[in-house]
């Protein structure tokens, strides 16, 4: 988490989504008169220092100053904060059920004593300080009592309990509404501009008037007709009481519109910041020219979270918020299958490794290296190739040998590739006559054993068609790990694979604790043929170990980079002292992904 509770790359203080700034939560104040009730509030920021478990909040209904009408910011421990329960359908209650009753702007804990007529219930407050002790509530003022425990509601909220929210029609904007309009013209790069709805013109289109863009003769504000896909409401304000912090995702006010970017430097004076925009420009902005970034998705405002809103750098790695999200199989280092267009290879899929997304970032081409093709006999190396995304698909999971029927569409492994074709004859000993689909393959038919064949599947819309059943997948033999060095401690013996934390008390480490496993393999090398890019997630060799960080500046000389480490230090590293970040999860190396 950053100091405001937003998730940044490589900072080990990430919190759950409901503790991000701008999130609506429920809080149980400890003050007399409020004990026993949960009140809605908005998270403003995490208290400093960063490891603090206290948050600054603003209540929705409580503590309003009668003179100014404002509600002060207050500090609460995380133990008094929980997510806001989703809207629930009205339900029947039984005598003795624990419930919550909405009373005086809060949800009070209590119990159902008796069912009355017309969907009303006699409710007893648990709080000893509440008077009266018994009140009659209607079913719409009651909900089943739940406890927030270790990140889950107890009892869980079933889908059948959720209230059915009415979907807002697309043409729900009225004359005079304040909105923001996306501008896709050259140079605007999907920026958002404040506007006013002038009138609907039919067919899901509106006439709007910009608030910041003027006509060519500067006599009036520009008017334009746009459809609803280019319109969204104005985002709610999220208070930033102190300052933005490194790697905050923001919108910057520039050329009359709001442009998405990332804070890459906090300047010490005058509350100014260096922002790396989605246009790949680095610019300086004042505090009042920035706002926290939010997205309008399915009729709701959402804030970037570590599972969902990380996006890609030019190499396809997930960084913070720059607009293009590639699926996991297109990340650098991923093994894929590619169908080359060259004569002699058409009709077959060959294995390759993704190196990076081609520049510019919006290109649909990727730089790849084939595993078995294009070997230079003189140098023993394989050149990098540029391939369109339409000829790239994930590498299918290994499949068990299976029986085929005549007419089955299949792939046959031949000359280092998987060739598309059809089974035409079944022979003895699990052999089959296979007919190649390719017009350029000769001979047209060959005999293949069952271990050289697989059922043909098509990669379409992010899914394999037909889907691979679990029973079809091959059981991969788990490679035995090398016997680790046995570590004996006075209090206990650590066994192979035990999860531990190791303290390093040497000068300069500040008594840091390092999470460790008794042994893990070294990560595979991912080639970086040219240079690292802005906001690439890397690991830097520092003090004898690899420290996670983010590239925040590419220096022009000597292939050097400024890296913002997870320790909140900004340091300079050579290219040779950096590697792309990978995680060792469940026995496999994984690259940063959006299930962020």
What is the domain partition of the chain in residue ranges? 98-161, 178-233, 409-472, 487-517, 537-590
Q: Residue 171 pLDDT more than 80? A: no
Q: Residue 489 pLDDT more than 70? A: no
Residue whose token pair is 């246009």: 279
For 114, phi then psi, to 5°, come to -160, 145
CATH no. for 409-472: 2.30.30
The reported pLDDT for the residue numbered 190 is: 66
560: tokens are 């050097």
Cα distance between residue 276 and residue 313, in whole Å = 12
C-alpha neighbours within 13 Å on the C-beta side of residue 259: 24
Instruction: Tell me whether residue 376 is exposed, middle or buried, using C-beta atoms within 10 angstroms of its C-beta: 0 to 12, 13 to 18, 19 or more.
Output: exposed
Residue whose token pair is 């039919």: 202
The reported pLDDT for the residue numbered 403 is: 92
The reported pLDDT for the residue numbered 488 is: 33
| Tally of helices (H runs) and strands (E runs) in the chain | 0, 49
Query: What is the mean predicted confidence (pLDDT) over 202-208?
Result: 84
The reported pLDDT for the residue numbered 505 is: 44
Closest CA to 303 of 381, 246, 250, 258: 250
The reported pLDDT for the residue numbered 526 is: 79
Chain centroid to CA 508: how far?
33
CA 212, 215, 217, 219 torsion-angle sign: negative
Which whole-number Å values give the CA distances from 198 to 133, 179, 205, in the listed order? 54, 11, 11
Strand 290-292 to 249-254 pairing? antiparallel
Cα distance between residue 390 and residue 169, in whole Å = 35
Query: What is the mean predicted confidence (pLDDT) over 441-461?
Result: 86
Chain centroid to CA 584: how far?
19
Instruction: Tell me whether residue 152 is exposed, middle or buried, using C-beta atoms within 10 angstroms of its C-beta: 0 to 12, 13 to 18, 19 or more.
Output: exposed
Could you tell me if 523 and 546 are in contact, meaning their C-beta atoms sit under 8 angstroms apart?
Answer: no
Beta bridge partners of 210: 195
Query: What is the mean predicted confidence (pLDDT) over 421-449?
Result: 88
Cα Rg for the chain, rounded, in angstroms?
A: 30
Cα distance between residue 234 and residue 245, in whole Å = 24
Q: Residue 217 pLDDT more than 80? A: yes
Strand 106-115 to 37-46 pairing? antiparallel
Domain over 178-233 is classified CATH 3.40.50: no
Beta bridge partners of 524: none
CATH of 537-590, one of 2.30.30, 3.10.20, 2.60.40, 4.10.260: 2.30.30
The DSSP-derived string for 420-431 is: EEEEEEE-STTE
Which whole-number Å values give the CA distances from 280 to 131, 253, 305, 359, 528, in the listed order? 61, 16, 22, 12, 20
Q: Residue 502 pLDDT more than 60? A: no
- Round the average pLDDT of the chain to a whole number and report it: 77
The DSSP-derived string for 457-507 is: -EEETTEEESPPPGGGB--PPPPPPPPPPPEE-SS-EEPTT-EEEEEE-ST
For 18, phi then psi, to 5°, come to -70, -10
Q: Residue 453 pLDDT more than 80? A: yes
The reported pLDDT for the residue numbered 111 is: 92
Query: What is the mean predicted confidence (pLDDT) over 282-302?
Result: 84
The reported pLDDT for the residue numbered 49 is: 59
The band of 38, judged by pLDDT with boundaries at 50, 70 and 90, is very high
The band of 100, judged by pLDDT with boundaries at 50, 70 and 90, is very high
Residue whose token pair is 């919190």: 15
The band of 471, judged by pLDDT with boundaries at 50, 70 and 90, is confident
Q: Structure pTM?
A: 0.42
Could you tell me if 146 and 93 are in contact, meaning their C-beta atoms sit under 8 angstroms apart?
Answer: no
What tens digit of pLDDT does each residue of 352-406 get?
A: 999 888 765 546 788 999 998 888 888 888 889 999 888 999 998 888 889 999 9
The overall longest dimension of the chain from CA atoms, in Å, is 93
The reported pLDDT for the residue numbered 475 is: 60
Cα distance between residue 146 and residue 157, in whole Å = 9
Could you tell me if 224 and 208 are in contact, meaning their C-beta atoms sit under 8 angstroms apart?
Answer: yes
373: tokens are 């093709």
The band of 413, judged by pLDDT with boundaries at 50, 70 and 90, is very high
Residue whose token pair is 């940044």: 8
């Amino acid at each position: 988490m950053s100091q405001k509770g937003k998730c940044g790359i490589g900072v080990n203080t990430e919190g759950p989504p409901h503790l991000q700034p701008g999130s609506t939560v429920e809080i149980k104040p400890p003050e007399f008169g409020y004990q026993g009730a949960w009140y809605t509030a908005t998270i403003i920021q995490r208290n400093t220092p960063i490891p603090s478990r206290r948050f600054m909040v603003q209540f929705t209904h409580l503590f309003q100053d009668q003179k100014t009408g404002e509600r002060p910011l207050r500090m609460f421990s995380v133990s008094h904060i929980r997510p806001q329960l989703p809207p629930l359908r009205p339900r029947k209650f039984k005598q003795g059920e624990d419930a919550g009753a909405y009373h005086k702007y809060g949800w009070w804990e209590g119990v159902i004593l008796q069912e009355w007529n017309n969907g009303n219930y006699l409710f007893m407050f648990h709080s000893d300080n509440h008077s009266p002790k018994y009140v009659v509530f209607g079913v719409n003022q009651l909900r089943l009592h739940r406890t927030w425990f270790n990140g889950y509601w107890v009892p869980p909220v079933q889908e059948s309990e959720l209230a059915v929210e009415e979907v807002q029609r697309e043409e729900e904007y009225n004359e005079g509404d304040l909105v923001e309009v996306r501008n896709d013209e050259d140079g605007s790069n999907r920026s958002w501009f404040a506007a006013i709805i002038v009138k609907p013109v039919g067919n899901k289109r509106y006439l709007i008037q910009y608030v910041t863009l003027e006509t060519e003769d500067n006599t009036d504000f520009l008017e334009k007709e746009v459809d609803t896909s280019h319109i969204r409401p104005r985002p709610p304000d999220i208070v930033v009481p102190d300052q933005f912090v490194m790697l905050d995702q923001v919108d910057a006010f520039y050329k009359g519109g709001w442009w998405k970017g990332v804070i890459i430097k906090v300047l010490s004076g005058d509350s100014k910041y260096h922002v790396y925009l989605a246009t790949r420009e680095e610019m300086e902005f004042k505090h009042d020219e920035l706002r926290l970034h939010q997205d309008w998705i399915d009729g709701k405002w959402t804030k970037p979270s570590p599972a969902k809103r990380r996006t890609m750098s030019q190499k396809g790695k997930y960084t913070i918020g720059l607009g293009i999200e590639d699926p996991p199989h297109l990340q650098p280092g991923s093994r894929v299958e590619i169908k080359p267009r060259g004569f002699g290879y058409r009709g077959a899929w060959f294995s390759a490794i993704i190196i990076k997304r081609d520049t510019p970032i919006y290109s649909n081409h990727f730089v790849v290296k084939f595993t078995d093709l294009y070997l230079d006999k003189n140098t023993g190396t394989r050149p990098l190739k540029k391939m369109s995304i339409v000829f790239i698909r994930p590498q299918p999971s290994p499949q068990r040998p299976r029986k085929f029927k005549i007419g089955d569409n299949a792939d046959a492994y031949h000359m280092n590739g998987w060739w598309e074709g059809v089974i035409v004859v079944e022979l003895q000993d699990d052999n089959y006559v296979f007919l190649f689909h390719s017009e350029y393959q000769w001979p047209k038919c060959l005999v293949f054993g069952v271990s050289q064949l697989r059922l043909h599947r098509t990669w379409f819309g992010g899914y394999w068609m037909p889907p691979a059943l679990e029973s079809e997948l091959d059981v991969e033999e788990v490679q035995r790990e090398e016997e680790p060095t046995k570590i004996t401690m006075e209090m206990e013996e650590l066994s192979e694979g035990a999860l531990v934390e190791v303290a390093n008390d040497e000068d300069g480490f500040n008594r840091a604790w390092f999470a460790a496993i008794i042994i893990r393999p070294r990560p595979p090398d991912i080639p970086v043929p040219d240079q690292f890019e802005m906001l690439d997630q890397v690991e830097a060799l520092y003090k004898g170990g690899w420290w996670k960080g983010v590239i925040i500046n590419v220096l022009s000389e000597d292939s050097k980079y400024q890296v913002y480490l997870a320790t909140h230090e900004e340091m300079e590293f050579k290219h040779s002292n950096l590697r792309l970040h990978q995680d060792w999860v469940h026995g496999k190396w994984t690259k940063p992904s959006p299930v962020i």
